[in-house]
């Protein structure tokens, strides 16, 4: 065999093997912070991982510090969790595994937002309405509003009862069940994947995950009931908590809620990856580099308009006057 031919044949085989090794579902997202394998903990109980993501952190072992020794502490309300980032940051941090309602990308209360620019504002929407919270080229998130209008009020009091996260050809729904009396030991959170109800385990890793053709999706419990962290690789992370309106809160704000409905709703904090400069949505617009908040600073309730721009026909529809999502996920229903 000609020596030059042999050389090129060997080179071709090596290139082919290299391409085959990298041609996996996770290729576009294998630098995500969660791309690691879990190792045995240290003798002091500190959890460790072996990083698989490409880049400077590949092959490195990261260890939780003593102050947050576990990724999923059982006493989530009192102990911070250990977060590994195997991306180029290659770091370990201690964080609360719950929404920070004063943090960037948060959506809480009735409903109050903190935008990507750090500015707080209220967006009331409408009772039984659906609005695009984020609408971008590869990601669309709708919120379903519940509410009530007490006698003498000129507008609805509203809360976010459900979120529909649409990407690629999939729809992930997180929703709060309607409950008459709140009991935190009862799991009022509903999770649906492409229309089917998903049961999130409470033991072991206490998580549900799926690898679609495009990316990995993980829903993990951060509390035994009513608290989860959602990761959609390469797009978004959500910390979600279900809560209800208590009797004291009802009286203080004069919501005048009916006796048979505690108005269970979601508190959520978003962390986005790779939004474009043209992102839209009630919250999404605040992540645009040219965005200037129109809300009045210094007032008790700075109001954000935009109902006409962002209202959608249903929780599962990516269609609105300013929506940008082009995927087929919105075709999935209930």
Query: Residues 43-84: pLDDT tens digits?
Result: 999 999 999 988 889 999 999 999 999 988 866 667 888 989
pLDDT per residue as tens digits for the range 120-129: 999 999 999 9
Cα gap 157→252, rounded to integer Å: 14
Q: Is the pLDDT of residue 25 over 70?
A: no
Residue 27, pLDDT score: 39
Mean pLDDT lowest among 67-76, 135-144, 204-213, 319-328 = 67-76
DSSP per-residue string spanning 72-121: S-S-TTTSPEEEEE-STT-EEEEE-SS--TTSTTEEETTTEEE-TTS-EE
Best CA proximity match to 165, nearest among 125, 132, 116: 132
CA 210-94-64 angle, to 5 degrees, is 80
> What pLDDT band is residue 22 in, cutting at 50, 70 and 90?
very low
Q: Where are the domains of the chain?
A: 36-95, 106-287
CATH of region 106-287 = 3.40.1000
pLDDT score recorded for residue 2: 55
> pLDDT confidence of 334, banded at 50, 70, 90?
very low
317: closest CA among 190, 143, 127?
143
Q: Which position has the token pair 């996996």? A: 24
Chain segment 192-202, per-residue pLDDT in tens? 999 999 999 98
Predicted local confidence at residue 9, as pLDDT = 45
Residue 152: per-residue pLDDT: 75
- Range in 26-35, 173-182, 187-196, 251-260 with the lowest mean pLDDT: 26-35
For residue range 74-92, what is the model confidence (pLDDT) as tens digits? 666 678 889 899 988 899 9
* Confidence (pLDDT) at 247: 87
Q: Which of 199, 174, 177, 22 is nearest to 99 (CA)?
A: 174
According to the model, what pLDDT value does residue 76 have? 62
| 268 touches 101 (CB < 8 A) | no
Tell me the pLDDT tens digit for each residue of 4-21.
Answer: 544 444 444 343 334 433
What pLDDT, in 10s, does the model give residues 105-120?
A: 999 999 999 999 999 9
What is the tens place of the pLDDT at every residue in 278-316? 999 999 999 999 999 999 887 888 999 999 999 999 999
């Amino acid at each position: 065999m000609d020596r030059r031919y042999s050389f090129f044949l060997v080179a071709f085989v090596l290139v082919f093997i290299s391409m085959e090794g990298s041609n996996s579902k996770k290729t576009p997202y294998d630098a995500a912070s969660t791309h690691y394998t879990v190792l045995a903990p240290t003798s002091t109980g500190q959890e460790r991982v072996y990083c698989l993501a490409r880049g400077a952190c590949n092959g490195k072992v990261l260890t939780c510090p003593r102050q947050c020794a576990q990724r999923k502490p059982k006493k989530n309300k009192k102990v911070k969790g250990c977060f590994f980032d195997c991306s180029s940051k290659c770091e370990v941090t201690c964080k609360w595994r719950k929404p920070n309602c004063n943090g960037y990308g948060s959506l809480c209360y009735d409903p109050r937002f903190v935008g990507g620019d750090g500015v707080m504002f209220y967006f009331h929407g409408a009772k039984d309405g659906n609005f695009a919270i984020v609408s971008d080229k590869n990601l669309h998130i709708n919120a379903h509003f519940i509410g009530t209008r007490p006698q003498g009020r000129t507008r609805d009091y509203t809360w976010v009862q459900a979120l529909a996260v649409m990407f690629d050809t999939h729809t992930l729904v997180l929703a709060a069940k309607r409950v008459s009396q709140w009991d935190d030991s009862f799991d009022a959170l509903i999770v649906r994947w492409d229309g089917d109800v998903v049961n999130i385990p409470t033991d072991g890793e206490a998580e549900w995950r799926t690898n679609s053709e495009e990316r990995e999706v993980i829903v993990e419990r951060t509390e035994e009931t009513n608290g989860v962290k959602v990761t959609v690789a390469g797009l978004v992370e959500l910390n979600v908590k279900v809560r209800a309106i208590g009797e004291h809160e009802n009286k203080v704000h004069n919501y005048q809620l009916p006796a048979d409905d505690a108005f269970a709703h979601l508190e959520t904090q978003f962390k986005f990856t790779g939004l474009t400069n043209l992102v839209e949505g009630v919250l999404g617009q605040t992540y645009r580099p040219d965005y200037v908040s129109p809300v009045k600073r210094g007032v008790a309730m700075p109001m954000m308009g935009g109902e006409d721009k962002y209202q959608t026909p249903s929780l599962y529809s990516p269609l609105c006057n300013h929506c940008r999502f082009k995927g087929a996920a919105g075709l999935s229903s209930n």
